[in-house]
Structure formats: structure tokens, C-alpha cells
A = this chain, B = another copy of it.
């Protein structure tokens, strides 16, 4: 599905012009988010693993080149150049799972300008989506306060690989797993699943559906109980649990799922039915239009729910389905560059972010510096590719997940609130003196 032609046309026409005019010097591009969406005080970087894979394997096939020749916009020498083109640059990036703030570069490409420009659209396409969903996932994880979360969103994700990478992003963010089988295979993520209303309805009696499902899943089941009457179904589950306990070998009903109605109310009544019948071990999980706000409310209200399936709200980041993420030229041929379009001023030059911490590890402040400067704390952008080859430091998904949990916990508490309170100060991101001085000197020089 993904080819090197998954690119905006202008990347190729600009490349033709760079090629024709001998512009082969090194460019520095940085990927950053200009402003955070409403109710976000931090985002979490993701997508690096796939970005590195894209850059490592970038090449134009004979078929790609034939198509480009057919559209008649490109010269033969340029197409021949594309035939042997590989990405030969360096990449510095924040490891996946790192929280970041507005205007901080999360990935920096240093390469001959033709290469660095060519990869713009696809790099954004990869990093934007995974950062978007990981950031949304972290909000759900914060809301759930330790209760398990499962990604149920495949059906309403934006096509196939959005579903796969949403599952990966959710896991990175701290979800326990996904219902999407291919994501389980591809990324080694734990798989979870229950049963659908249609399965119940295909049987003449709900009880038959429960029995059939249990008999086909000796490892234990989660039964869906809201197809007709949730409480009547809960009593049926109790009867079945009694019967199953008497069997040899015994079979288990691990949990029930409620997917509609007033979830808090239903969960309390079902919990009560199970507890009175002597089945405190049967868990109750909820799904159905959940987002971080519903989850937070139910957890705060101590609704007896043991886990949550999150679908659409997660997989499309429903309240903020896109980020203001850009990939900007910061330097070419050794000179810092900056556009002056109204409302789009930015900090020029190749940059680094230093993160200072309190003695307990809590994040205290960031400093946006020019590359080569030092500041308090440690630099966040590490070398991930050199000369077109992957560095040893590209972290695995499991490592990124661990980093994400630790670093989100290290954020000042006010920043982890789900909604803007108006009272929380934003994360302090200081601009280094050298960067201020560079901007002043560029302003003086004009363009």
C-alpha cells in the first residue's frame, strides 16, 4: 500500500528545481506543533519507529519512475537521480513516549535539501497521527487511574493503517491491549475481545447465546449483557456461573460487558446482583461512546467498573482530530532560515530542547536552545539515524511505553488535568539567550 509516491506532488517538483539548479547543500528541517489543541497542556511524541523505517527503506521503484515519467513534469536526468536516491541524512528525535510542549522540535532531519524536502509529507503523515493518538490515549490512561483500558476503535478509525497505528499508539500510552487482531500480530500487543449484540440476537434466547459462547471458549469469557434487559441478563449470568462451577473441569465467566444505557447505574445494579449471589470475582467492563471525561467521572464516582473499552473517541481523537504540526526549514547551507508569514513566525536554526528536573525527577522546565548550546538538565533530542542508517538508540515499543508512563508521571500535576481550568500555568519553556540573539540579528538584517 505505502509506496514512495505517497508524497505531495510539490515535493517532487521542488526536488526537480533543486536538482536543476545544483542546490545540494545540507538543510535542517524540524517537526514541531505550533499550538496545542484546547484542553491539552502537553502532547506525547510517537511515530519515530515507523518514521525511521520509512527513511531507511525510501526508494523509487521502476514502476514509480514510469508513472512519474508518464505525467510529463520531470526531466530524464532528474528521474535517473531519483532511481538511485536513498535517504543519507541524520535524524535527531525525542524518544517515543516523551511529553513535549508547543514549539519544541520533536524530530530534526539534517540532509541534502532534496532528500530532506522530499520526505516532508510522509514524515508528517506518520508522526502527526501517532502523536495525536498517543496523546489522546494518555488522557484516557490518566482518567482511568490504573483501571485497564482496551482499544476497541478499529471500525471507526480512518481506514486500515489508522486502525493499526491507533492500537499501537494506545498501547504506547498505557492501554492494556487492543481488539484489532492484526495489531496484535504486527506489534506484539495483547489482544482482548468480548462478543457482539448480533451474536446474542442470532440465537432465539439470550441464554443459548451465552451457553454457546462459553462452550467454545474454554479459557473463559466476557459476556455482553445489555442486548435486551441488563438486569435479567445479570441474573442469567449468576445461574450460569453456578452451573459452570459444578462442572469438571470448571469453566469461568470472567466478566460481563455493558455497552448502553446509564452505565454507572447499570454497573451498580449488576455489581449488587453478583455480590449478593456470591460472585464478587465476576468483573464488569463498560464500553459504548466512552471518552476520557466519562471515564474520569465514573472513576471519581467509584462506579464499580473494572475496565473500559474505548473506541471512536480514541481512534479518531474525536475532540481534536488533528494537530497544528509542521515540518519547517530551519537552516540551509549553514544559514538559519525563517519565514515571516503573518501568524507563522517561528524560532530559526537547528535546535535542541533541554529538560530540567526537580531532585525527585519531576519535570521543572524546558529550555529551547540552539544546537550546540548547553543548558540545565538533559537534552531530549537524541541521534536516531546517522548517514541514513538507524542508530542503536531507537527504542522498542515496550521501552517507549515504560518511558511514557514514567515521564507523564513526572509532569507537574496541574498539567495532567483533563480540562483547562484557567488556573494552571503552562509548562515553562524558556528560550535561550543565543536563540533570542539569533532572531534579533535576523530581524535586523531583514530578508
Contacts and interface: CB of A to CB of B under 8 A. Distances in A.
Given A1-B1, A193-B8, A228 B162 contact: no
A9 to B, nearest CB: 3
Interface stretch (A151-159, A248-256, A411-419): A151-159
Contact of A14 (B27, B191, B199, B312): B199
A332 B201 contact: yes
A440 to B, nearest CB: 18
A340 B229 CA distance: 8
Contacts of A159: 125-126, 129, 158-159, 161-162, 165
Contacts of A125: 154-157, 159-160, 163
Nearest to A123: B155
A92 interface: no
A312 B124 CA distance: 12
A179 interface: yes
Interface in A213-228: 213, 215-217, 219, 226-228
A20 B155 CA distance: 26
A117 B196 CA distance: 9
A135 interface: no
Contacts of A68: 181
B227 A156 contact: no
A374 interface: no
A229 to B, nearest CB: 7
Contacts of A219: 72-73
Given A156-B124, A316-B322, A191 B9 contact: yes
A202 B337 contact: yes
Interface centre among A5, A156, A206 (most CB of B within 10 A): A156
Contacts of A261: 341-343
Nearest to A132: B158
Nearest to A23: B202
A280 interface: no
A29 interface: yes
Given A8-B179, A182-B5, A14 B161 contact: no
Nearest to A67: B185
Interface in A314-347: 316-318, 321-323, 325, 327-329, 332, 337-344
Contacts of A316: 158, 316, 321-322
A164 interface: yes
A247 interface: no
A71 to B, nearest CB: 7
A226 B342 CA distance: 8
A162 B156 contact: no
B340 A182 contact: no
Nearest to A206: B447
B120 A160 contact: no
Which of A163, A197, A198 is most buried by chain B, counting CB atoms within 10 A of its CB? A198
Nearest to A289: B324
Given A226-B341, A340-B228, A6 B201 contact: no
Nearest to A180: B8
Given A337-B202, A343-B261, A181 B215 contact: no
A351 interface: no
Contact of A321 (B217, B321, B338): B321
B181 A13 contact: no
Contacts of A235: none
Contacts of A73: 217, 219
15 contacts: A1-B160, A6-B154, A8-B155, A27-B198, A68-B181, A117-B196, A117-B198, A117-B199, A122-B160, A158-B159, A158-B321, A159-B159, A206-B447, A228-B447, A229-B340
Given A129-B157, A129-B158, 5 more contacts: A5-B181, A7-B180, A10-B195, A13-B195, A158-B162
Interface of A: 1-3, 5-14, 16-21, 23, 27, 29, 67-68, 71-73, 113, 117, 120-122, 124-126, 128-129, 132, 152, 154-165, 179-182, 184-185, 191-202, 205-206, 212-213, 215-217, 219, 226-229, 259-262, 312, 316-318, 321-323, 325, 327-329, 332, 337-344, 447
